[in-house]
Structure 1
Amino acid sequence: METEKNKLKDNTNSKKFKKVLLMGYNGANNTGSETRLISIIEDIRTVLGKDVKLTIPTLNEKNLRRYIEEDEHLKIVPIPSIYFFALKEIVKKQDLVLLVEGSCYMDTWTSALLWAFLWTTRCAYNQGIPCIAYAVDSGELSRFNKFLVKKEANKTDLIITRTTYARERLIDIGVKAPIVSTADCAFTFETKLEAKNSLKKIWNSENPASTEGFVGMAVVDFHLWPVVIRPWGRKVNLYKWPYYFSRSRSRVLRSENLSRNWAREADRIVELHSKNIIIICMEELDEPLAIEIKNRMKHSEKAQIVSAGTYNASQITEVLRSLELLITSRYHAGVLSMKASVPQIGIGHDQRLKGLYKDIKIEKELFIDYPEDNSKVEVIWKSLSKKVDQLIENPKHTKELIRKCYQKQVELSLNNKKYLKNFLFEHEDVMV
């Protein structure tokens, strides 16, 4: 098999890549995944032509069809929750496999997602089909999953990471496959014309008399994750059988404390700075926390929820770019708002947002690590309040910093398709 693999790679120039698999977190009503998938489809069609046959597997066909149109050149393929056999059969029919999920090499959300990407990589390797991880991230991994990543990711022909930090983490684990770093595909995402003024339209439908500015909060319940595999469990904790959210009395209490602190900060911003609050759900799964925050607010009439369950990626991106300030626990909220130089503060619970902020050198100024130790939580929220006040009162320096960061990230993001084209047709040394 190794000889066959090398032979295939030696003849890459003459290979015709007519069928491409896009393996990711597709169909989850997740704004980040939506923007990435749309941007990656454009990249592939730029490199391989409009007639390339694309296959997109999904656990939720209905959601995926909200933003991806199936036609003679693009096929949506439903797969079961226990996906091993189905993915193996799908991979067999491809000329090229791309791993397109940003949260590729991490088990923060669930080991099952990580295993799906590693299994796809193994299937491609065994079939002698090139496999590329396309602008992906790495993060926290259990000891067992580090072993799996080291073993299976080495079978990837090229890994393109979206931060240098992600590249370094994979190298530290022991991954020897070629790895280059660029920036996330969503930096080149273009919104649709009809999405212009989305925030004004959404807000005015409920609050026609309001004229104050807007502060956005892109929230995520850290205490739901990871999703775990169980044969049965409480229906309220079911993600999609056999996957259940991690819930316990302690986790529920911490979730309640999280919503309470968000609500308190939202009310403080309304009272001190006379701003409206937009609670942004970058994934539909964030809605329960968003609803809880709004319900806990004293000034709930000054808040509105904007969710990926209702609005598409273009609309949410336009909302993000219309803010005066963004407080975000979601990676792609930070990414998508940068084009408008929106000042932002990150509250991170994993390595993705931290990695982005480290790459663009704003980690010390604008990033807050959310602690595992519950006794330190109050300190974090006091620190956040201080940063919020500073940015609302004096945003100029940070806006300029974000503007420069965005320009650099767009340049790096454009390298994604350059590396893809180089690997497929020129096959020069891609290491940097």
Structure 2
Amino acid sequence: MGRLLRSLGTPLSNEAPRFPYVEQERAGASPLRVAGAAADPVAASCAALERYAHAEAPDEVFLADMQCRIDAASRHAARPRRTTDDALRVLLLSYSGAGNTGADLRTIETIAQIQDVFAHRVPRIKLLALGALFDHRVLARVKKLDWPLPYLPDVLAAAVAEADLVLNVEGSTYTSKFSDSLAGMLIGGVALAHAQGCAAVSYGVDSGAMSASLQVFVRRNAERGLVICRNSAACTQLAELGVSGQRGADAAWHWRARERETACGRVAVLCVNNPFWWPVYADARRARALDAAGRESPLRYGSLHFHSWNAARECAYESYLSRFAALGTALRERGYEPVIVGMERLDEAACHDLAARLPFAVRIVARGEADLEAVATTVAHADCAVTTRYHAAVLAVSHGVPVFGLSMDERIDRLLDEVGLGDWRGRCDDDGSTARALERIATLDDARERARIVAACERYAGAQRAVFDQMGRNLAAWVEAIHFG
């Protein structure tokens, strides 16, 4: 999301007009008028960016701008079917490049699947990346989408026009947990592609709590594009908003760790982050003040955005770290070697904050300091794991590692419930979660109980890999019918 938020730009003036998306929708008004009618598309995109940057509700402006471009595209005739054997042009909408291990694994495995099922079409893949960390050969080699215009909705409109297939490969799509602008880019990019007559899919996605603005946006675009969910709960939630989601699987289930080279005792992985500083929000005035004073803020994220933070959030974060420290200490006393893992580059600070609270030296494997393979393999080779990161739970289950989830939202809860390990989870802000995690992990000393849990993990993971394989075959048949049938 770093590239997305940085791409939304730097303020150009001091005026701050307001364009509240929900109020427009309730009043039946049209969304923001696209500035693209101007002779100079760069100037028009700059003007749209300026409106966004100075709005009182920037995320609502972003959603409105996306909607305007979707509606404009839907008024034009759909593109004709392709009847030649030219290469299939694929655009991937992603969170890759930001240093998020789960997002990168999803992208890597989706690329591999596309190259397999569309081999006869010689797919030409472009990746809309939101950062510049590509520490895996697949991510390093895939072609990245250029950004010829300053404002992301305009970048998407131009890029979609040159694609045959647009896939949203980010899991956290239908949620306001992180940013409505991020959700608007993912959902809106698929809707925009559909409006332009392109095959458009949200691929193995999840849902969660959504703002009123995002719910309006989802309802309005509910029938634009194919939505494949990674769990049944997401299908159910989206159905309430008019989205007919199909059941699928997460792409990351297909990633397999290399073999462990040496034995290193019993390892307990602790995957931490800061669950309490989301979502990010835009504050152009605060950004200008920092820039004018030549100051930095640890809460700043990109050019205009800041993490949410106050005394209550700080207190919750301190309690969270204390619970993890108690877990690490108790696990060490039980013969485990705790290893702290940061699944995203943003988690590095939380990893070091936790290490500082432990009464012993501890190894840290954090993305950015370590590459994708090292981070993912550390989780896959553990003897048990405790995580607030969803894809650490996926990696653990996929490799038969018993995992306790200290969840920050619905995603880990849904996963462990489906695996059959609903008693292996707790809330990250619950004081009782430490004792429950230790109780569950203690049962692993019974060889039969460990074998039962490992078998449940492997059975579920195998089923998910089979579902993802079928997703690929279905996708290939669907695209053939749309563009080449």
Per mean C-alpha deviation after superposition, the further-off stretch among 307-316 and 416-425 is 307-316
Q: Which residue of 1 aligns with 2:250?
A: 184
Question: Counterparts of 2:332 and 2:256 in 1: how far apart (Å)?
Answer: 32
Structure-to-structure mapping, 1:382-421, within 5 angstroms: 382-393=435-446, 394-421=449-476
The correspondence for 1:223, drawn from 268, 273, 276, is 276
| Aligned length, in residue pairs | 397
Amino acid at match of 2:452: H
Q: Which residue of 1 aligns with 2:358?
A: 297
SS of the equivalent of 1:97 reads strand
Amino acid at match of 2:450: P
Gaps of 5+ in 2: 1-73, 288-295
For the 8 Å contact 2:136–2:372, the answer to whether it is kept is no
Displacement of 1:12 in angstroms is 7.7
Displacement of 1:66 in angstroms is 5.1
Question: Counterparts of 1:315 and 1:167 in 2: how far apart (Å)?
Answer: 33
Displacement of 1:418 in angstroms is 1.7
Q: Is 1:323 aligned to 2:378, yes or no? A: no
Displacement of 1:4 in angstroms is 4.0
TM-score, L = length of structure 1? 0.85
Displacement of 1:111 in angstroms is 1.2
Gaps of 5+ in 1: 201-210, 372-376, 428-432
Question: Counterparts of 1:199 and 1:78 in 2: how far apart (Å)?
Answer: 45
Displacement of 1:75 in angstroms is 3.5
Q: Which residue of 1 aligns with 2:114?
A: 44
SS of the equivalent of 1:54 reads strand
SS of the equivalent of 1:223 reads coil
Displacement of 1:89 in angstroms is 1.7
Question: Counterparts of 1:266 and 1:44 in 2: how far apart (Å)?
Answer: 41
Amino acid at match of 1:406: A
1:118 to 1:263, Cα distance in 2 relative to 1, 3 A: same
Q: Which residue of 2 aligns with 1:265?
A: 327
SS of the equivalent of 2:314 reads helix
Q: Is 1:347 aligned to 2:402, yes or no? A: no
Amino acid at match of 1:189: W
For the 8 Å contact 1:329–1:349, the answer to whether it is kept is yes
1:17 to 1:420, Cα distance in 2 relative to 1, 3 A: farther
Q: Is 1:129 aligned to 2:190, yes or no? A: no
Q: Is 1:58 aligned to 2:132, yes or no? A: no
Question: Counterparts of 1:308 and 1:17 in 2: how far apart (Å)?
Answer: 35
Per mean C-alpha deviation after superposition, the further-off stretch among 120-129 and 109-118 is 120-129
For the 8 Å contact 1:165–1:355, the answer to whether it is kept is yes
Structure ID, larger Rg: 2
Displacement of 1:190 in angstroms is 3.6
Question: Counterparts of 1:387 and 1:337 in 2: how far apart (Å)?
Answer: 15
Amino acid at match of 1:315: A
For the 8 Å contact 1:88–1:123, the answer to whether it is kept is yes
Displacement of 1:331 in angstroms is 1.3
Displacement of 1:381 in angstroms is 2.2
Can you list the C-alpha shifts for 1:28-54, whole angstroms capped at 9, x where unaligned?
Answer: 111111111110111111122273111
For the 8 Å contact 2:95–2:104, the answer to whether it is kept is no
Q: Which residue of 1 aligns with 2:396?
A: 337
1:77 to 1:70, Cα distance in 2 relative to 1, 3 A: farther
Q: Which residue of 1 aligns with 2:431?
A: 378
Q: Which residue of 1 aligns with 2:67?
A: none
Identity of aligned residues (%): 21
Can you list the C-alpha shifts for 1:127-164, whole angstroms capped at 9, x where unaligned?
Answer: 222211111111111222112112124211x1111111
Displacement of 1:224 in angstroms is 1.3
Q: Which residue of 1 aligns with 2:318?
A: 256
